[in-house]
Structure 1
Amino acid sequence: MHKVEEKFFVAGQIFPSDIKSLKEQGFQTIVCNRPNGEEESQPIYEEIEKTCKENDIKCFFIPISPGEIDPAKVFELNSIIQEEKKTLAYCRTGNRSITQWAFANAKDLDAKIILDKCKSAGFDLSNLKEVLLAIKG
């Protein structure tokens, strides 16, 4: 798990058995950025969602294919971030989730700040600098 901001973290694939521990760590929201069926061994979103509901954790399904940029999905994540609840977004490796976080914050934060936060979390998104600047306008 990688801390991006005080209340936003990204991770690779999680499993239903992880949810209780995430609840104990104070997570209030889980965002799945991984489409169902990418790998045979991955749990489907509905399994994660069911366990989240049992543990009183909000759960959102915002599946992203590698390389996909979908403004509607970026806006959806931005509104989740605005709730300021401790949130974990996950995909296969965390890369799609951190990229979505970067896009979701591009209007409000300077590109350098976004890239620095990503780097501190262990992700080099410097190749997206121009895209972030374009989103900022």
Structure 2
Amino acid sequence: MRRIDDSLSVSPQIGPADVTEIARAGFTTIINNRPDGEETDQPEGDAIRTAAETLGLDYAEIPVTSAGFSHAQVNAMRAALDGAKGPVFAYCRSGTRSTNLWALAEAKAGGDPDTIVAKARAAGYDLTAIRPMLDALAGAR
């Protein structure tokens, strides 16, 4: 798990058994940014959803494929982040898509691209490839 800031941490793929520790760590929402079936041995999102909801956590599924990011996905991420009752835990295959989608949602909400890039870099993620999109989204407000 890598902490982006007080409101978000990201990680590679989790399984249903990991949800208990995520809840114990104080997270209130899990966001799944990985499409089902990306790899044959990956846990299904519904199994993680069931574990999360059993423990009282909110769960959102915003899958990102190799096709890239859409405005609908950015808006869904923003809505999930804004609706969270506490810290959010997002995952995908490596944590990169979750970080990128968070960054785009932050920029669209008026976040400063330099601050967004710095937070991601501190967690070990490079946003160079999406920096022009961050600047465009932040400037569109």
Measured after TM superposition, the shift of residue 66 of structure 1 is 2.6
Measured after TM superposition, the shift of residue 67 of structure 1 is 4.7
Provide structure 2 residue ranges, at least 5 long, that are not aligned to the other structure: none
RMSD: 1.1
Report the equivalent of 1:95. Answer: 96
Q: Percent identity?
A: 33
Distance 1:98 1:66 in 2: 15
Taking structure 2 as the reference length, the TM-score comes to 0.93
Greater Cα shift, 74-83 or 4-13: 74-83
In the TM superposition, what whole-angstrom CA distance separates every residue of 1:64-104 from its partner, at most 9, and x where no partner exists?
Answer: 10351111111111122223521011000001000000000
Q: How many residues align?
A: 137
Provide structure 1 residue ranges, at least 5 long, that are not aligned to the other structure: none
Greater Cα shift, 2-11 or 59-68: 59-68
1:69 counterpart SS class: coil
Question: 1:66–1:96: 8 Å Cα contact kept in structure 2?
Answer: no
In the TM superposition, what whole-angstrom CA distance separates every residue of 1:102-122 from its partner, at most 9, and x where no partner exists?
Answer: 000113111111100100111
1:1-137 mapped onto 2 (5 Å cutoff) = 1-84=1-84, 85-107=86-108, 108-137=110-139
In the TM superposition, what whole-angstrom CA distance separates every residue of 1:7-37 from its partner, at most 9, and x where no partner exists?
Answer: 2011000000001111111111000000000
Amino acid at match of 1:122: G
Greater Cα shift, 46-55 or 76-85: 76-85
